[in-house]
Amino acid sequence: MSGRGDALKRFRYAAGLFAPVYLLALYLLRERFPGGVPFLLSIAIGPLVAAYFLVSYFLDRKRDDRVPDFLPLLAWGAAAAMEIHAFVPPVARTGVVPAALFFGLAMKFPPILSIPAILCSDAWLAAVPGPIGKEIFYTSAMALVAGGVGIAVRRGHRKGGPEVNGVQEAVARSRALVLPWEDSGTDGIPASGAMTEESSLLRREEELKDGIRQALDRLSGLTGASHVAYIARSASPGSVLHEGFLLSRGSPVFREISLPDTYVPVREATVFRKPFLEVGPGARRYAPWKSGPGSAPSGVAAVPVFREGVVEGVLLAVRDEEGPWRDPVIPAMELAGHFVGRDIERMRELHQGDRYFLRGEWYHEMVRKMAEVGTEADPEPGGGARSRREMVYAETAEQVRRQVDADRVLLVESGEDPGNGRVAWALSPEGDGPGTEGCEPLGNSYVGWVIRTGTQRIFPGAAGPPRSQGVLPGSWEREGERSFLVLPVEGRVGFRGALVCAHPQEKRFRKHHAEIARDITRVMQLGLSHVERLESLTKKATTDGLTGLSNRKAFLERLAVDLARLDGRHPCGVVMLDIDHFKGINDTYGHPFGDEVLRGVASVLGKGVRKGDAAGRYGGEEFVLYLHMADTERAREGAERFRRMIRQIRFAHAGKEIAVTASFGVACAPHHGKGVEELLNHADEALYLSKRRGRDRVTVYPG
């Protein structure tokens, strides 16, 4: 972040914090000069400053590479509204200012911030004698009602959330060919060698440039111009330039040029949609550049190039020699413009056909791979294989990299608090994989703003006004990255957060890249919805409905897989436990209370096992544990720990507390057996010995 950007950011925040100080000064000034000229002049400051920040806010919103700063506008807008209420009787009588202000504060901020802000605003309005009697009661009542309604609406909004109606647009939809042309640095062919929308676009643009070159070559001979050019509005976000290429007489080389929007011939052709012609000494005022050939023209002509009634670009002709143009110059240029417009339309149709074909290819490929995710078993934690979700993330990142030609792709998942997030998946030249498990504060980064507002942003990385904040949190940044595309990803299920594309090249991303990436994330959401359905079905098939632990079948399958993986080279323990006198509990207190006891014991087992261990319900009041990498002594200690934890549980029934105990049997591989059936039989024999020896104890096989 540049020093200038830091200074701009500090200035804006300082300006926002200065609003309360201004209100305090206004109150003191009113006490000293009631109705005086200095006081009346001071009243105008608040609305003027608020108007300034309002204009700045809307100008920033029009730019793709700038995030509007709302806080100064909010602070000074509130200050101006409070001034108007306190000193303009007709407005004060309506009560609209405190009602809207207090409701807006409660909607914008959580109660921990909005309530103090409402109280401070209420106190100021009550302290300044206004045009309504009993001002303090009036504003306080308004603060209570409007603030309470705002808090209630905010909570309802947070619970409900925005509804997303699935895939809102067709995956293959028409987009405009982007002009002028960009240099990808790879001659339009991606590193993988496969045809993509990007390479198709660049190929059609090269074909279009060849057609325009031929038109300019003919136009130079027809008009006798020294220089002819085709220029179109720059596609760079926030740009005010027209870019294109120039052909000079006697030179076979086409060179790139750029002209500002304020250049009169361009403005006449694009804004007023009419030809421009200037001949003689007056043409010197319209020289397109300051030095070199063409800087002192004797004639300048420009005509708009139309396609379906839309101005696509401008044909520009500049004559250095004295004397008249070869007549008729404007009709000749309009004819050339007609053919250029026709070429643009033809290339767009060809590119649209390419896009439909390619979009169908990658779309069907993604859908096929998302469906194949269902055939893969979701690996157990610590198994080293990718989970189903990670398979979807990996395919999404790879498709974005291939179709958008990004250097690095990040899937940033939002936490419970939109101000926090984590990198769910990252793809870069160094490799791919998930980020850290925990969420990190997004701070005032642009990716956090995009997630909160649902607004995409494109940062070209070119020279211009500095950004007031970083695109990514500091720990996620990479040196050398200049261009960024940050796209919000929203949905009721699946994934909520943002997709970030980064590239070291300037002006790498355009709006059509955002459309491609958005379509890919929609397919990703379909894949994640499929994964969630599979997870739900798998959970129902493998989970005991009463206790939430693994059922017998799922536990035995997991045990078989782990024993095969260990292959007798490393120890592990199998523990069987049985709740003592459970039949008496059911007979004495009823089966509902017995179910509560089962759930309580299962909760202790489920929360107490380590990562890599497993707990399951074997049947009735009997449970089973798998202790990974545990020898005989560690397995015994683990069983003893669970026995003590179960003894400490208290179940309330009819005004009194009931305690339960459990008996344990332990068998360890490979010392007591290597197979599933052998270990379970030995653990069951040890459990039987615990029962015979008085219950509430741990016995290790062979006892």
Mean confidence (pLDDT) of the chain: 79
d(CA 689, CA 686): 5
pLDDT computed for residue 304 by the predictor: 93
Give the H/E segment covering residue 666.
strand 662-669
pLDDT computed for residue 8 by the predictor: 56
Contact assessment for residue 293 and residue 229, using Cβ atoms and an 8 Å cutoff: no
Whether residue 246 is found in the same domain as residue 263: yes
Q: Is the pLDDT of residue 214 over 80?
A: yes
What does the pLDDT average to over 553-562?
Answer: 92
Q: Which of 108-112, 139-143, 556-560, 626-630 has the lowest mean pLDDT?
A: 139-143
pLDDT computed for residue 601 by the predictor: 95
pLDDT computed for residue 604 by the predictor: 94
Which amino acid makes up residue 515? E
Whether residue 156 is found in the same domain as residue 12: yes
Q: Where is the domain boundary, 507, 523, 540?
A: 540
Q: Is the pLDDT of residue 85 over 50?
A: yes
Residues in the chain: 703
**DSSP H helices in 35-110:** 37-43, 45-61, 70-87, 89-94, 96-108
C-alpha atoms less than 13 angstroms from C-alpha of 281 in its C-beta half-sphere? 0
**Cα angle for residues 703, 696, 642 (degrees, 5° grid):** 90
Q: Is the pLDDT of residue 40 over 50?
A: yes
Q: Is the pLDDT of residue 186 over 90?
A: no
What does the pLDDT average to over 340-368?
Answer: 73
Q: Is the pLDDT of residue 29 over 70?
A: no
Most confident of 60-64, 119-123, 193-197, 424-428: 424-428
Q: What's the pLDDT tens digit per position in 130-168? A: 554 545 566 667 677 777 777 777 666 544 443 333 323
- Asked if residue 115 belongs to a domain, the reply is yes
Dump the DSSP string for 125-153: HHHS--SSSSHHHHHHHHHHHHHHHHHHH
The residues facing 311 across adjacent strands are 306
Whether residue 416 is found in the same domain as residue 562: no
Q: Is the pLDDT of residue 638 over 70?
A: yes
Q: Where is the domain boundary, 540, 570, 593?
A: 540
Kindly give the pairing relationship between strand 299-307 and strand 254-260: unpaired
- Asked if residue 367 belongs to a domain, the reply is no
- Asked if residue 191 belongs to a domain, the reply is no
Most confident of 188-192, 206-210, 305-309, 445-449: 445-449
Which one has a higher pLDDT value, 324 or 618?
Answer: 618
Share of the chain above pLDDT 70, in %: 77
594 phi, psi to nearest 5 deg: -60, -40
Most confident of 93-102, 185-194, 336-345, 573-582: 573-582
pLDDT computed for residue 187 by the predictor: 41
Q: For residue 547, name the pLDDT band (cuts at 50, 70, 90).
A: very high
Q: What's the pLDDT tens digit per position in 460-517? A: 876 555 556 788 988 898 888 989 999 999 876 678 899 999 999 888 888 888 888 8
Whether residue 382 is found in the same domain as residue 513: yes
pLDDT computed for residue 423 by the predictor: 92
- Asked if residue 616 belongs to a domain, the reply is yes
Q: Which of 145-159, 249-263, 436-450 has the lowest mean pLDDT?
A: 145-159
Q: For residue 381, name the pLDDT band (cuts at 50, 70, 90).
A: very low
d(CA 624, CA 622): 7
Q: Which own/partner pairs from 415-419 qualify as long-range (CB within 8 Å, at least 24 positions apart)?
A: 415/439, 418/448, 418/451, 418/452, 419/443, 419/448, 419/452
Q: For residue 377, name the pLDDT band (cuts at 50, 70, 90).
A: low
Whether residue 54 is found in the same domain as residue 29: yes
pLDDT computed for residue 49 by the predictor: 74
Whether residue 312 is found in the same domain as residue 401: no
Whether residue 393 is found in the same domain as residue 283: no
- Asked if residue 425 belongs to a domain, the reply is yes
pLDDT computed for residue 355 by the predictor: 64
Q: Where is the domain boundary, 160, 189, 222?
A: 160
Whether residue 384 is found in the same domain as residue 493: yes
pLDDT computed for residue 391 by the predictor: 87
pLDDT computed for residue 623 by the predictor: 97
CA distances from 410 to 167, 175, 419, 423 (A): 22, 25, 17, 7
Q: Can you give the CATH number for the domain in which 438 is found?
A: 3.30.450.40
pLDDT computed for residue 189 by the predictor: 40
End-to-end alpha carbon distance in the chain: 69
Q: For residue 378, name the pLDDT band (cuts at 50, 70, 90).
A: low
- Asked if residue 353 belongs to a domain, the reply is no
Whether residue 389 is found in the same domain as residue 442: yes
- Asked if residue 470 belongs to a domain, the reply is yes
Contact assessment for residue 397 and residue 386, using Cβ atoms and an 8 Å cutoff: no
pLDDT computed for residue 129 by the predictor: 55
Range of the domain at 602: 543-700
Q: Which of 71-85, 155-169, 294-308, 621-635 has the lowest mean pLDDT?
A: 155-169
Q: Is the pLDDT of residue 36 over 60?
A: no
Q: Can you give the CATH number for the domain in which 655 is found?
A: 3.30.70.270
Whether residue 341 is found in the same domain as residue 416: no
Kindly give the pairing relationship between strand 572-579 and strand 497-503: unpaired
Which one has a higher pLDDT value, 80 or 127?
Answer: 80
Q: For residue 696, name the pLDDT band (cuts at 50, 70, 90).
A: very high
- Asked if residue 189 belongs to a domain, the reply is no
Q: What's the pLDDT tens digit per position in 659-672? A: 999 999 999 999 89
pLDDT computed for residue 64 by the predictor: 54
Q: For residue 107, name the pLDDT band (cuts at 50, 70, 90).
A: confident
CA distances from 537 to 5, 391, 558 (A): 52, 19, 17
pLDDT computed for residue 666 by the predictor: 96
Q: Is the pLDDT of residue 276 over 90?
A: yes
- Who contacts 69 (Cβ-Cβ below 8 Å, separation ≥6)? 12, 56, 57, 60, 468
What does the pLDDT average to over 374-388?
Answer: 57
Q: Tokens standing for 359?
A: 């979009």
- Would you name the residues annotated as active-site residues? 621
Which one has a higher pLDDT value, 159 or 204?
Answer: 204
Whether residue 135 is found in the same domain as residue 254: no
d(CA 439, CA 437): 7
Counting the structural domains of the chain, the total is 4
Which one has a higher pLDDT value, 546 or 108?
Answer: 546
Share of the chain above pLDDT 90, in %: 28
Whether residue 134 is found in the same domain as residue 212: no
What does the pLDDT average to over 177-199?
Answer: 45
